[in-house]
Amino acid sequence: MPKTPALVLALLEERDDPVDAVVHAFDSAARDLVASGDADGCPAATMALDVVDTNEALRGAAADVVAAWVEGAFLLARTTRDPEPMRSAGRTRAAQLAAAR
């Protein structure tokens, strides 16, 4: 399994309650973002931006990855150097999960 999905699964497994697990995973990502000095980039975002106008197949694949990763929150957190978008995305996903119970 690639590193990122394995990390996410490991974070989710650290909590018994699924809603708490989602918040924990996003909070952990926010802490990691701050700890790295916003230096650890997202390979999917980099590739997507590089190929958006030149390679339709890769653009489509990148779009699928970005949609699955709540990529907007990650990019916003990096560009503003503020982890709050990641935390906010986690709270939003947790609320959606709680409502679906």
pLDDT tens for each residue of 18-35: 888 888 888 888 888 788
pLDDT tens for each residue of 54-92: 777 767 776 666 666 676 787 778 777 888 988 998 898
CA distance 49 to 98: 34
Question: Looking at residue 25, what is its pLDDT?
Answer: 85
Question: Looking at residue 1, what is its pLDDT?
Answer: 43
Question: Looking at residue 51, what is its pLDDT?
Answer: 67
Structural domain boundaries of the chain?
A: 3-100
With beta carbons less than 8 A apart as the criterion, state whether 87 and 80 touch: no
pLDDT tens for each residue of 40-59: 556 556 666 676 677 777 67
Q: Tell me if residue 2 falls in helix, strand or coil.
A: coil
* Burial degree of 62 (CB within 10 A; 0-12, 13-18, 19+): buried
Question: Looking at residue 62, what is its pLDDT?
Answer: 66
- Contacts of residue 12, Cβ cutoff 8 Å, sequence gap at least 6: 18, 21, 22, 24, 25
